[in-house]
Structure 1
Amino acid sequence: MGKTVTTYLIDGDPKGTQYSFISNKICQMFVVPRSNLSYLNEQEKLQKPAFYILIGEDEATKPQAYIGETENFKERVKDHDSKKAFWQKALIFVSKDEDMTKADVQYLEHKAIAEAKKANTFVLGENKQIPKAPNLPEHQRDAMDEFFEDIKFLASFMGCNIFDIAQPKEEHLFYTKGRGCNARGYYNSSGFTILKGSILANNCVPSFNWKDKREKLIKEYATFENGNWIMNSDKTFSSPSTAADFCIGSSNNGWLVWKDIDNNTLDSVYRKQLG
């Protein structure tokens, strides 16, 4: 089923301050760069109960985030601005009807931290514990569950995969075994996802040009067991070739080295599907 998402660029900059919402839904997402916190003075909705995510975009490996809730984001962010150095922009989620309560946003925080830790796509160094869920009436809990689904959609819409959990289709799995690795994954609109359990090559060829970054990624996404580096969570790369390079530790054409169970290359399955 299709969705209509309305996005308004406050200052005309696609990377600047903006807000988005889904037609016929009450969830509204504001994206506010740290460089433009003065916008909070202009928007009364951001001085009401809100759920929010602070994002650091330029991490060398995993991006970093902080998930929180507040009764007044404008006031709450003052503390984050003075004490948290990592973040570059805030995603703030409010109700267009302005009818959320403190308990509502606490419930959203509880769900969000649990799902973000399960997805394991961001470092949540300052969200060490999953807060307890407040007691909400059944009808309100159901309403907040639906609201949270809209939060996940809007976050993904603007490129934040903090809640994304890989759900591969078996018929679309691809494999590679170059240089001792034994990896599997799948390709979709987000890129190529290497799946948990994949075995990586233990080292790189001398000419590999991003050895240091690969080593950092391996330490964050894999565990050394029985002489092998094994992925302990999924990892999505923007291209099949980057994913293959990471697994094999050398430069590769990912469209050719990823093959399905019938030995069809990724290239033949996806890039030649129009004949």
Structure 2
Amino acid sequence: MGKTVTTYLIDGDPKGTQYAFISNKICQMFVVPRSNLSYLNTQEKLQKPAFYILLGEDESTKPQAYIGETENFKERVKDHDSKKAFWQKALIFVSKDADMTKVDVQYLEHKAIAEAKKANAFILSDNKQIPKAPNLPEHQQDSMDEFFEDVKFLASFIGCNIFEISQPKEEHLFYTKGRGCNAKGYYNASGFTVLKGSIIIKNSVPSLNWKEKRESLINEYTSTHNNVLTLDTDITFPSPSTAAIFCMGRNTNGWQKWKDKDGNTLDTVYRKQLE
């Protein structure tokens, strides 16, 4: 079923301040860059109970985020601005029809941290524990569950995959083997995902140009069992070649190296879709 998303670019910049909402839904998402916090002064909705995500980068292997709730985002963000260096923009979620309560946003925070930890796509350094779920009447919990589904959709709509857990179909799996490597994964709009349990080659060839980054990924995502380096969690790369290079420790063409169970290369399978 299709959805209509209304997006308004406050300053005409697709990377700038904006808000978005789904037609016939109450969830509204504001995207506010750290460089434009003065915008908060113009929106009364952002001075009331809200659920929010701070997004940014660090020197590690994954993007970083902080998930929180507040009774007044405008006031709460002052503390984050002075104490948290990593973030560049905030996603703030409010109800566009009626104000949410403190308990509502606490429930959203509980669900969001639990699902973000499960997806494991972002570092949550300051969300080490999953907060206890507050007590909500059954009808209100159902309402907030529906609201959170819209939160996930809107976050994904702007390219934030913090909650995304893809479920690959067996017929779409691709494999690569060689030099002790035995990995499998799948390709979709997010890139190429190497699946948990894949066996990765430990050492990189000297000519590999992102050797240090690969070693960081290995340290974070793998463990050794019976002298075999095994991937502990799914990890998504921007391209099939990057995924293959990570698995094999050498430069290679992932479009040719990944093959399905019938021996068809990834290149062949996806080129056929255009014929």
Q: TM-score, normalised by structure 2?
A: 0.97
Structure 1 residues 174-213: aligned runs within 5 Å: 174-213=174-213
CA contact (8 A) 1:27 1:95 kept: yes
Q: CA deviation at 1:4?
A: 1.2
CA contact (8 A) 2:53 2:68 kept: yes
**Taking structure 1 as reference, are residues 14 and 59 closer, same or farther at Cα in structure 2, changes over 3 Å only?**
farther
CA displacement, residues 9-55 of structure 1 (integer Å, 9 cap, x when unaligned): 11111111111111111111111111111110111111111000111
CA contact (8 A) 2:58 2:86 kept: no
In 2, Cα distance between equivalents of 1:98 and 1:71:
14
SS at match of 1:200: coil
Q: CA deviation at 1:231?
A: 1.1
Structure 1 residues 67-216: aligned runs within 5 Å: 67-216=67-216
Aligned to 1:235: 235
In 1, Cα distance between equivalents of 2:8 and 2:59:
27
Q: CA deviation at 1:228?
A: 2.3
Q: CA deviation at 1:178?
A: 2.7
Aligned to 1:15: 15
Residue identity matched to 1:35:
S
- Aligned length, in residue pairs: 275
Aligned to 1:245: 245
CA displacement, residues 169-226 of structure 1 (integer Å, 9 cap, x when unaligned): 1110000013211111001111111111111111111110000001111111112222
Residue identity matched to 1:83:
K
Q: CA deviation at 1:149?
A: 0.5
Residue identity matched to 1:64:
Q
In 2, Cα distance between equivalents of 1:192 and 1:59:
22
CA contact (8 A) 1:221 1:233 kept: yes
Residue identity matched to 1:107:
Y
CA contact (8 A) 1:166 1:234 kept: no
CA contact (8 A) 1:53 1:66 kept: yes
In 1, Cα distance between equivalents of 2:207 and 2:96:
54
Q: TM-score, normalised by structure 1?
A: 0.97
CA contact (8 A) 2:48 2:99 kept: no
What are the ranges of 5 or more consecutive residues in structure 1 without an aligned counterpart? none
Q: CA deviation at 1:59?
A: 4.2
Identity score, percent: 81
CA displacement, residues 119-159 of structure 1 (integer Å, 9 cap, x when unaligned): 11111111111111111010100000000001011111111
Q: CA deviation at 1:58?
A: 5.3
Residue identity matched to 2:122:
F
Aligned to 1:223: 223
In 1, Cα distance between equivalents of 2:165 and 2:75:
33
In 2, Cα distance between equivalents of 1:229 and 1:17:
44
Q: CA deviation at 1:60?
A: 4.3
SS at match of 2:197: coil
Residue identity matched to 1:49:
P
CA contact (8 A) 1:201 1:229 kept: yes
In 2, Cα distance between equivalents of 1:89 and 1:43:
17
In 2, Cα distance between equivalents of 1:224 and 1:33:
41
Aligned to 1:38: 38
Aligned to 1:261: 261
SS at match of 2:213: helix
Q: CA deviation at 1:99?
A: 2.3
